[in-house]
Amino acid sequence: MNPEPGKISICGDNSLRIEAGGMRLFITTEDVKSLIFYGRVVPISKSVCRTGEGGITESLLSIEGHAAMNAGGKAVTFFTTNGHYILPLISLQRVARGEAVSAPLFPLEYDSPEGRK
């Protein structure tokens, strides 16, 4: 059995955690609402804490991709620097509402003549 390529879950602050491609990413609570209710494209971010000069801890935030509704409005696609994934909209809604603990992400592969062998 192959391990799942990624999963989404809800954090304590109601942001959406995305574990995919060996990375831990997140979408803020406000962006989750914008994605679900309005179909807006939202950033997928990564937060890294490091100790700088003088022992001062710095929190760095970087955008590692984006999430968007697909053309039919029935699924959400996650485009990250480590890969592309898709998730049914209903699964995302269930996790965001707290009805489900997590949901698996599915790898998104485009059907192109160059990719076929």
The model's pLDDT over 57-93, given as tens digits with 9 standing for 90+, comes to 777 888 999 999 998 899 999 999 888 999 999 999 9
If you ran DSSP here, which 8-state letter would residue 82 be given? T
Position 107 pLDDT exceeds 80: yes
Q: Is the pTM of this model over 0.95?
A: no
- Tens digit of pLDDT for each residue in 77-86? 999 988 899 9
Alpha-carbon span 27 to 10, nearest angstrom = 10
Alpha-carbon span 109 to 102, nearest angstrom = 22
